[in-house]
Amino acid sequence: MIQGQQVEELGIVLPGDKIEHPDLESNWDSICVGPGLSCKNGAVNATRAGRLKMSSKNKKYIFYVDSHCKRYIPQAGEFVIGVITRRLGYNYLIDIGASGFVTITDLIFENYSKKNIQHLYLGDLIYGQLFATNNYREPEFVPLDIPKVSVGIAPLPRDGIMFHVPLHVARLLIDPSITLLETIGKKTDFTLVVGYNGRVWLHSEDINDVVTIMNNVMMLEIFSPQELRRKLSCS
């Protein structure tokens, strides 16, 4: 979820359903067809079952199907958490939970030289953004600096824990209109990094808080954010 976007739910769709919306007819030049939809001969159809949603920002509209799935399909502009699986010379092979891998090189790190080289190891977690995704080459992955977590484009600290959630749960956690994490933050201090690929990195000083926060986040697969927030407020 990009800051400033507004998301509107348009209903439930099934594979093959034709998508009809006034903006698809009048504002075609400002429309982007996202995951779960296909465009052919000017018609937009659903390719999987789920909730049809439209996000808008600055008169730009993105239509997509929000469904329960665990296999991540790379999309340009999305933030993900990757795992370093192999080193090839100056390059690193990174798993982002998709059908293929992405590659980064030592040269992308700030002030790179042999004296201050940023050493990365197998199993390290890297947070970054995807660019230029298409069907003919691997996605372009750019690591990012996270304030108070990783400085100078470094891996996520090893004193945290990573766990997996379904993709729709990850999108809920990123959605700025969902205040569940703010409710949890009133009771304990923690740091949470969420990737659109369903990977969540969590750090807290108390291991009991880590377990509690993990359980609360994973309960989003069953309960709505409003129901879960009410349960937390009463506990």
Q: Give pLDDT tens digits along the chain (235 positions).
A: 444 466 777 888 888 888 887 766 666 667 777 778 888 877 888 888 888 888 777 677 788 888 777 778 887 788 999 999 998 877 888 999 888 888 887 666 655 555 555 677 889 999 988 886 666 677 788 887 665 554 455 788 888 999 999 888 888 888 877 778 888 888 888 999 999 999 999 999 999 999 999 988 888 888 777 777 777 766 6
Task: Considering the domain delimited by 162-234, tell me its CATH architecture.
Answer: 2-Layer Sandwich (3.30)
Q: Which pLDDT does position 201 carry in this prediction?
A: 95
- CATH no. of 79-157: 2.40.50.140
Element spanning 232, H or E: helix 225-234
* Tens-place pLDDT, residues 2-48: 444 667 778 888 888 888 877 666 666 677 777 788 888 778 888 88
Q: Which pLDDT does position 82 carry in this prediction?
A: 92
Q: Which pLDDT does position 145 carry in this prediction?
A: 67
In angstroms, the CA 189 to CA 136 distance is 43
Q: Which pLDDT does position 66 carry in this prediction?
A: 80
* HSE-CB for 34 with a 13 A CA cutoff: 20
From 2.40.50.100, 3.30.420.40, 1.10.260.40, 3.30.1330.40, which CATH number describes the 6-66 domain?
2.40.50.100
Residue range(s) occupied by CATH 2.40.50.100 in the chain: 6-66
Query: What is the side-by-side order of every strand in the sheet holding 60-66?
Result: 6-13, 50-57, 60-66, 31-33
Residue range(s) occupied by CATH 3.30.1370.10 in the chain: 162-234
Q: Which pLDDT does position 81 carry in this prediction?
A: 94
Q: Read off the pTM.
A: 0.75
Q: Which pLDDT does position 12 carry in this prediction?
A: 87
Q: Which pLDDT does position 164 carry in this prediction?
A: 92
Instruction: Please write down the long-range contacts of 137-141, taking CB distance under 8 Å and 24 or more positions apart.
Output: 138/100, 138/101, 138/102, 138/103, 139/74, 139/76, 139/96, 139/98, 139/100, 139/102, 140/102, 141/80, 141/82, 141/94, 141/96, 141/102, 141/103, 141/104
